[in-house]
């Protein structure tokens, strides 16, 4: 990944990084790979506070350009539209809902046989 331009935007409390990714002979990098690359390039950045925009892959060449926006805090991210925040929801490290949902799904399965025994005794 090559940085074309880096701008600090103090008004919106963010850093805007314009990049070019040369991937000759390989597939277009995923958003996950782009998030990881931007996080490793910008010192002190939090992966949960990065948004990738304007991704453009040139047809016939192994070159992708885009804009990575690194926010300093979650409050500053509120300027992004809801659909952009939802797009990265599954890639966030602070997203703990899948871990919380797994035990909740197992609990009803354990209770189901007990309910069947109660019904069998009443009939």
Q: Enumerate the domain spans of the chain.
A: 2-95
Residues whose CB is less than 8 angstroms from the CB of residue 58 and which lie 6 or more positions away in sequence, other chains included: 64
Question: 98 φ, ψ to 5°?
Answer: -60, -35
Q: Check residue 8 and give its pLDDT.
A: 92
**Those residues with Cβ within 8 angstroms of residue 45's Cβ, 6 or more apart along the chain or in another chain:** 15, 38, 39, 70
Per-residue pLDDT, 67: 93
Where the chain has pLDDT below 50, the residues are: 95-112, 114, 123
pLDDT reported for residue 119: 53
Closest CA to 36 of 71, 68, 80, 75: 68
Determine what percent of the chain is predicted with pLDDT higher than 70: 75
CATH number of 2-95: 3.30.70.330
Quote the pLDDT of residue 17. Answer: 92
d(CA 37, CA 122) in angstroms, rounded, equals 62
Report residue 91 as tokens: 């890639």
């Amino acid at each position: 990944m090559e940085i074309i331009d880096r701008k600090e935007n103090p008004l919106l409390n963010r850093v805007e990084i314009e990049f070019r990714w040369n991937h000759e002979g390989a597939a277009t990098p995923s958003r996950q790979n782009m998030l990881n690359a931007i996080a490793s390039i910008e010192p002190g950045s939090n992966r949960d506070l990065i948004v990738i925009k304007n991704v453009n892959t040139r047809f016939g060449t192994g070159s992708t350009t885009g804009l990575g926006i690194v926010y300093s805090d979650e409050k500053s991210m509120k300027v992004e539209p809801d659909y952009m925040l939802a797009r990265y929801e599954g890639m966030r490290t602070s997203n703990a809902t899948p871990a919380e949902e797994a035990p909740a799904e197992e609990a009803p399965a354990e209770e189901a046989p007990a309910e069947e025994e109660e019904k069998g005794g009443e009939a």
